[in-house]
Amino acid sequence: MFIIKSIELFEINLPLVHFFETSFGRTYERRIILVRIEDADGAEGWGEITCGEVPGYSEEWTDSAWATAEKILAPMVVGKSVDSAAGIWDLMKRVRGHRMAKSGIETACWDLEAKKLGVPLWRHLGGVNRTIECGVSIGIQDSIEQLIDKIAVEAVAGYRRIKIKIAPHWDYEVIKRVRAAFPDIQLMGDANSAYTLADIDKLRSLDEFDLMMLEQPLGFDDIIDHAKLQAQIKTPICLDEPIRSADDARKAIELRSGKIINIKNGRVGGHAQSKLVEQTCRENNIPAWCGGMLESGIGRAHNIAISTLAGYTMPGDVSASKRYWHEDIVEPAIEVSPDGTITAPDGPGIGFQVRRERINRAASRKVKI
């Protein structure tokens, strides 16, 4: 049981080491919202709102999430006494959508609660595999040579699978060249909804490359056309954007819209919701993995913790801080072992120190509710 005394929001601006391009655009600098929760005993917890800078991946973006967290969600939570972090979701239930904003607050409460109990967050969430498998996501590049160079670096670093972003101008020929250069790597493509059913021949032609999966080829809110596509291609489809709840996962599984599910804390609304999606996947023998949103060390630490749950059976988008940031906001920075794994820390909560001075330096606005 704890009483939420205050919520602080920080917007920090962090330039990416290398731009990140998806089918919906290119990002050079992140505008990340961090959430700090303090309870009546003075304990603290940290979370991250993982929306993008534009409403391209989902409807949420930095300014909408800031306003929603500050004006709507924080007032629903501050001053409330809660039995456990798992119950935070219910306090915000009246608000539809805005799951990333909710997740920032909800995950901060899990960190706080685990710290108060003196246990690592991954254990508190019910994790079983302390060491998780890591993959990388590599954006669309200016040239195929540049992409191949990047893949070579990550393969040598030990990552267990390589995801490349694809789009209609950057698909068959690119994957063909990559496959020729790296015949044995575990390779997958993520289209972020860049195709429609009219592209079925093109998508079927990718079957020849033995991809682990094809992530989100069709509409961001679709699970019907994906079922039609899956029936006509061999490559397993992985759903990302349309799975916002355990119910969505159940329906997609029932319709056979895909064979794999990517779970993102932000997209589903926090750890309690991720646990429900994970359970649905596990009970239906659908492999799941943790998706990334170019997080700072705080969001990354939460991703590590949730990835230890039994249903997260495939390597996720959880990779080293240095791939994104010159200097992360947590200490130590998140590192990946030469065998492509991360072992969740055994300190209380997220298990990484939050660097307040670094956050203050990078912050462009703050508010306390």
Binding site for ligand OSB (CB under 6 A): 22, 57, 137, 190, 192, 240, 291-294, 317, 319
Whose CB is nearest to ligand OSB?
Answer: 292
Q: Does 240 bind Mg ion (CB under 5 A)?
A: yes
Q: Binds 230, which of ligand OSB, Mg ion, none (CB < 5 to 8 A, cut-off by type)? A: none
**Strand pairing partners for 61?**
52
Q: How far, in Å, CA of 50 to CA of 32, rounded? A: 7
H or E element that contains 23: none
Catalytic residue among 102, 115, 116, 264: 264
Residue 165 known to be catalytic: yes
Q: How far is the CB of 193 from ligand OSB (least distance, A)?
A: 9
Member of 39, 154, 190, 295 binding Mg ion (CB under 5 A): 190
Collapse the DSSP code of 68 into the 3-class scheme (helix H, G, I; strand E, B; otherwise coil) and give the result.
Answer: helix
8 A C-beta contact, residue 257 and residue 215 = no
Residue 267 to residue 280: CA distance in whole angstroms: 16
Name the residue type at position 51: C
Of 133 and 190, which CB lies nearer to Mg ion in the complex structure?
190
295 binds Mg ion (CB under 5 A): no
Q: Is 264 a catalytic residue?
A: yes
Torsion of CA 238, 244, 247, 249, to 10 degrees: 10
C-beta of 333: minimal distance to Mg ion in Å?
Answer: 24
Q: How many residues of this chain bind Mg ion (CB under 5 A)?
A: 3
d(CA 170, CA 30): 24
Give the one entry of ligand OSB, Mg ion, none that residue 57 binds, where binding means its C-beta sits below a cut-off of 5 to 8 angstroms depending on kind. Answer: ligand OSB
Closest CB to ligand OSB among residues 214, 294: 294
Q: 111 or 190, CB closer to Mg ion? A: 190
In whole angstroms, the minimum distance from the beta carbon of 235 to ligand OSB comes to 17
288: partner contacted, choices Mg ion, ligand OSB, none (Cβ within 5-8 A by kind): none
Cα(13)–Cα(252) distance, integer angstroms: 36
Name residues whose C-beta falls within 8 Å of residue 174's C-beta, 6 or more positions apart in sequence.
Answer: 144, 147, 164, 166
List active site positions.
165, 264
